[in-house]
């Protein structure tokens, strides 16, 4: 063991970014931390005793054992020091589904920032939101940690902690453990989201830089916004991703629900991939099989009386033809099939792709990407053709020709 006197000014500079007592962690370091530190190997004698929320407190080994018992191979950890709301639920569910993973809600319940909501109130909020997750998807556990508000370097530390608790993925916000705003301006405005210790590095970029060493994958925090016309949250950057087919499908579902008369089911490509075809790849045959599964589910729903909007990427003519044939022959009396071609130009979809997926495909990081190194066969006999570079989504779904075709809808396949 080693007993030594620390250089607190250096510690404040290296950890928090500046030796400024306006920062709560620097104030704690300067005014409450003892003058001597002890270093060396550690031997556990007794775990801390807690009297609140005992059932929600797990050691790293206990939580890893829980994941093993539940057969959770991929776990997306979400940290928060604030109350959660609906947008947080949406972004964590999306992150998990995109990675075929489960969710660990892992809020800190130690010292946070002055003015933060107390942990008793926050835990009641977390407990209230957990039943809103799909059954079996998420688990709540409390983390007894004091926040340092140290920005990117603290995000790396948090990633290490979540790895120890059994997580494989970690959601990192742009201002994760955001730097404290100081009245004497030693700390830059929080909106810069960069590190004083590591210039130009954001929490996300720093965690990503060390992801191989950390053995945990960084998941970017997707900003969400509520779309009143759709009555749901969507990522702010979703916009015209790909051709706009998902946005059209969601808007069409709302419009048809307003018409009444029958329930309207929505099968988005991303959701079907994660829930129904997770084992399939993106070869020609796997893509064909995925479309036929969607056709089968759509026909079954239609036979039960529902209208179905399906919005996968369906690049091959034979797949679309087979889907049409199956639905018309198997969906029961009155089963119809309408093919809507979203003919948004590739350059428009690529320009609006803020996630950089097209750029990755052009660099060869993604193989078999439709429109880049895999063919897209334009439909020869689409019932309706739309283009979001020429019309807004409300104009498309509320147009007379569009509604007259779809009013008695049984299936819409969006290629």
Q: Is the distance from CB of 242 to CB of 349 less than 8 angstroms? A: yes
Do residues 178 and 188 lie in contact, with contact meaning Cβ atoms separated by under 8 Å?
no
Residue 145 parent element (H or E)? none
80: left (phi over 0), alpha (psi -120 to 50) or beta: beta
Phi, then psi, of 259 in degrees rounded to 5: -65, -30
User: Could you confirm whether 363 is annotated as catalytic?
Assistant: no
Closest CA to 283 of 360, 349, 375: 375
One of 59, 82, 225, 385 is an active-site residue; which one? 82
For 274, other C-beta atoms within 10 Å of its C-beta total 17
Residue 228 exposed, middle or buried by CB count within 10 Å (0-12, 13-18, 19+): exposed
* Nearest alpha-carbon partner for 143 in 62, 72, 70, 198: 62
Say how far apart CA 328 and CA 287 lie, in whole Å. Answer: 21
* Dist CA 174 CA 208 (whole Å): 13
Q: Are 280 and 288 in contact (CB under 8 A)?
A: no
Which residue is it, tokens 């947080």?
A: 88
For residue 412, what are the contacts with CB-CB under 8 A and spacing of at least 6? 249, 252, 308, 309, 310, 311, 338, 339, 340, 406
Among 30, 57, 80, 164, the active-site one is 80
Judge whether 242 counts as a catalytic residue.
Answer: no
DSSP for 152-219 reads HHHHHHHHHHHHHTT-SEEEE-TTTTPPPPPTTSSSPPGGG---SSSTT--HHHHHHHTHHHHT-EEE
Residue 80 is among the residues annotated as catalytic for this protein? yes
| Strand arrangement, sheet containing 384-386 | 264-268, 307-311, 411-413, 338-342, 384-386
Q: Cα–Cα distances in Å, from 85 out to 11, 182, 380?
A: 35, 28, 46
Catalytic residue numbers?
80-82
């Amino acid at each position: 063991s080693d007993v030594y006197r620390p250089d607190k000014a250096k510690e404040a500079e290296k950890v928090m970014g500046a030796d400024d007592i306006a920062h709560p962690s620097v104030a704690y370091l300067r005014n409450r931390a003892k003058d001597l530190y002890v270093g060396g190997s550690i031997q556990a004698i007794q775990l801390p005793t807690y009297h609140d929320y005992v059932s929600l407190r797990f050691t790293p080994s206990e939580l890893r054992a829980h994941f093993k018992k539940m057969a959770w191979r991929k776990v997306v950890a979400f940290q928060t020091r604030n109350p959660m709301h609906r947008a947080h639920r949406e972004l964590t569910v999306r992150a998990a589904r995109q990675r075929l993973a489960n969710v660990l809600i892992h809020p800190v319940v130690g010292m946070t920032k002055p003015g933060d909501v107390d942990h008793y109130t926050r835990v009641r909020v977390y407990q209230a939101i957990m039943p809103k997750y799909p059954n079996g998807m998420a688990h709540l556990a409390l983390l007894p940690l004091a926040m340092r508000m140290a920005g990117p370097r603290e995000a790396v530390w948090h990633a290490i902690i979540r790895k120890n608790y059994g997580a494989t993925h970690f959601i990192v916000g742009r201002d994760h453990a955001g730097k404290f705003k100081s009245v004497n301006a030693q700390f830059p405005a929080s909106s810069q989201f960069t590190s004083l210790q590591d210039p130009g590095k954001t929490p996300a970029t720093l965690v990503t830089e060390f992801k191989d060493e950390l053995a945990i994958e960084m998941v970017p925090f997707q900003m969400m916004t509520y779309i009143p016309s759709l009555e749901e949250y969507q990522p702010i950057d979703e916009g015209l991703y790909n051709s706009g087919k998902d946005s059209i499908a969601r808007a069409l579902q709302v419009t048809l629900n307003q018409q009444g008369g029958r329930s309207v089911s929505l099968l988005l490509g991303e959701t079907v991939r994660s829930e129904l075809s997770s084992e399939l790849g993106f070869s020609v045959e796997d893509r064909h099989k995925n479309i036929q599964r969607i056709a089968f589910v759509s026909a079954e729903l239609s036979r039960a009386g529902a209208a179905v909007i399906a919005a996968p990427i369906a690049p091959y003519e034979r797949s679309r033809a087979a889907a049409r044939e199956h639905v018309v022959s198997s969906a029961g009396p009155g089963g119809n099939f309408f093919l809507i071609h979203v003919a948004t130009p590739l350059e428009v979809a690529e320009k609006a792709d803020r996630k950089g997926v097209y750029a990755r495909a052009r660099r060869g990081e993604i193989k078999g990407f439709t429109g880049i190194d895999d063919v897209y066969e334009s439909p020869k006999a689409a019932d309706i053709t739309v283009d979001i570079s020429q019309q807004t989504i409300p104009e498309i779904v509320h147009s007379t020709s569009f509604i007259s075709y779809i009013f008695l809808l049984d299936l819409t396949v969006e290629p």
